[in-house]
């Protein structure tokens, strides 16, 4: 038990004329933290837990941050005294502060159901690599026409369900087989070049007519290796001289004459890729013969650095490789959205040459996905 002299001495040390206000024992705080002081003590204290306790605080709830200030009082007749001032904050970080039962209870709370947005959803239909006129193990032109008709039949209820405000028909190229693609073997087609172009225009029109029943349509096309104007492997003319794009221009005349709400877009005459703005999301389109297998993202990175047509795209669509693929491709610095590179499946009769040399084949399919005001909707991606 402290003597009367010790109690009188301690009381005297706490007087305002002895201890500066900042260093008097006590603490002030809010939910996040505050400041406190120990008042005078007879020895130097370096342990933060002890400093908190001397200020009347719980070391398990608070921790000292920053520097600790020390005030020293010299006494001529006895040992010096020390007072300490510090800032502190509430302990919230670290595994020992995580209340797992409380976290899971919060996670199980009822969630507000968000109704499906209307008027801010656009659908992208990717028409890729039908190579009309080509024969293969899946048949020839009769089988191809029947296969594409089946895909349109599957597309119809999907468009009715999604109710898009806009539709982008993205033609990823190789609309017909041609005779100068450099394939091996050549000349296995069952249609002449004129017939191939006629059938291609008909299929393109049927897709446009179907989509137009549901929403305004934008048709995007790009040059491709099978429909290029070429002599063997040698391209002739500029990219815009592509015969597939020529077919697009003929179909555009029909939609214009019919006063349909259809817009056609294609690359600039010397470009091979194009971008379309869809509800604020930039959709890039290229055939894919510009890069090797699995190299779409690397090619896109270079296009971005070079400020090319699809530099600012959020989603890049490519065909050519006859199989579905999807890759994350960094982040768009303008929209701050994650970029996606998507390879479209084929609609053709099969590539027997590739199957026999590489041992791989891909099922035919029609790629469909949506974008919303929030960007690319990954959950909407489907292959019909």
Q: Give the domain ranges of the chain.
A: 4-101, 121-383
Mean pLDDT (the chain) is 87
Query: Rounded to an integer, what distance in angstroms lies between the CA atom of residue 342 and that of residue 319?
Result: 9
Q: Which residues lie across from 234 on neighbouring strands?
A: 231
Q: Which residues lie across from 167 on neighbouring strands?
A: 123, 217
Q: Residue 2 burial (CB < 10 Å; 0-12/13-18/19+)?
A: exposed
* 135 pLDDT above the threshold of 90: no
Contact 130, 176 (CB under 8 A): yes
Query: Rounded to an integer, what distance in angstroms lies between the CA atom of residue 349 and that of residue 361?
Result: 11
Nearest to 272 by CA among 324, 313, 228: 228
pLDDT for res 360? 63
When pLDDT is cut at 50, 70 and 90, the band that residue 8 belongs to is: very low
Least confident of 98-102, 148-152, 225-229, 335-339: 98-102
pLDDT for res 161? 96
* 213 pLDDT above the threshold of 80: yes
* 41 pLDDT above the threshold of 70: yes
Contact 288, 296 (CB under 8 A): yes
In CATH, what class is 121-383? alpha beta
pLDDT digits (tens, 9 = 90+) for 241-291: 999 999 999 999 999 999 999 999 999 999 999 999 999 999 999 999 999
* 95 pLDDT above the threshold of 50: no
When pLDDT is cut at 50, 70 and 90, the band that residue 359 belongs to is: low
Per DSSP, the three-state class of 237 is coil
Least confident of 17-21, 191-195, 203-207, 318-322: 17-21
pLDDT digits (tens, 9 = 90+) for 42-87: 899 999 999 999 999 999 889 999 999 999 988 777 788 999 999 9
pLDDT for res 11? 47
pLDDT for res 5? 46
* 176 pLDDT above the threshold of 50: yes
Query: Rounded to an integer, what distance in angstroms lies between the CA atom of residue 6 and that of residue 328?
Result: 73
Per DSSP, the three-state class of 5 is helix
What is the model's pTM? Answer: 0.72
* 4 pLDDT above the threshold of 50: no
Helix (H) and strand (E) counts in the chain: 8, 17
pLDDT for res 124? 98
Query: Rounded to an integer, what distance in angstroms lies between the CA atom of residue 134 and that of residue 295?
Result: 26
Q: E strands of 21-120, at which residues?
A: 26-29, 33-37, 62-73, 81-90
Find the mean pLDDT for residues 207-223: 97
Query: Rounded to an integer, what distance in angstroms lies between the CA atom of residue 83 and that of residue 249?
Result: 87
When pLDDT is cut at 50, 70 and 90, the band that residue 119 belongs to is: low
* 3 pLDDT above the threshold of 80: no
* 184 pLDDT above the threshold of 70: no
């Amino acid at each position: 038990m402290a003597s009367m002299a010790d109690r009188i001495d301690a009381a005297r040390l706490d007087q305002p004329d002895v201890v500066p206000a900042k260093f008097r024992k006590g603490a002030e705080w809010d939910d996040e933290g505050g400041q406190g002081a120990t008042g005078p003590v007879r020895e130097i204290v370096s342990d933060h837990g002890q400093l908190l306790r001397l200020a009347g605080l719980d070391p398990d709830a608070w921790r000292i941050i920053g520097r600790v200030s020390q005030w020293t009082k010299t006494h001529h007749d006895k040992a010096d005294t020390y007072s300490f001032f510090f800032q502190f904050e509430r302990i919230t970080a670290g595994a020992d502060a995580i209340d797992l039962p409380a976290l899971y209870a919060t996670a199980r709370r009822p969630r507000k159901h968000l109704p499906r947005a209307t008027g801010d959803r656009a659908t992208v239909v990717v028409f890729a690599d039908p190579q009309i006129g080509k024969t293969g193990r899946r048949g020839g032109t009769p089988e191809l026409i029947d296969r594409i008709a089946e895909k349109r039949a599957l597309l119809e209820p999907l468009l009715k369900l999604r109710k898009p405000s806009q539709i982008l028909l993205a033609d990823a190229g190789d609309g017909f087989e041609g005779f100068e693609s450099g394939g091996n073997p050549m000349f296995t087609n069952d249609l002449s070049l004129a017939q191939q172009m006629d059938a291609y225009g008909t299929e393109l029109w049927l897709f446009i007519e179907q989509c137009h029943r549901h929403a305004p349509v934008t048709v995007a096309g790009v040059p491709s290796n099978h429909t290029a104007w070429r002599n063997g492997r040698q391209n002739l003319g500029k990219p815009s001289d592509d015969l597939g794009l020529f077919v697009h221009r003929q179909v555009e005349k029909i939609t214009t004459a019919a006063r349909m709400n259809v817009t056609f877009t294609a690359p600039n005459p010397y470009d091979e890729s194009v971008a379309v703005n869809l509800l604020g999301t930039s959709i890039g389109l290229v055939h894919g013969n510009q890069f090797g297998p699995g190299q779409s993202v690397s090619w896109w990175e270079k296009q971005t650095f070079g400020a090319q047509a699809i530099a600012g795209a959020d989603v890049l669509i490519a065909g050519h490789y006859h199989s579905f693929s999807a890759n994350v491709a960094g982040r768009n610095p303008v929209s701050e959205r994650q970029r996606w590179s998507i390879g479209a499946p084929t609609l053709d009769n099969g590539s027997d040459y590739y199957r026999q040399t590489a041992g791989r084949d891909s099922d035919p399919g029609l790629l469909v996905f949506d974008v919303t005001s929030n960007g690319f909707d990954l959950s909407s991606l489907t292959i019909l």
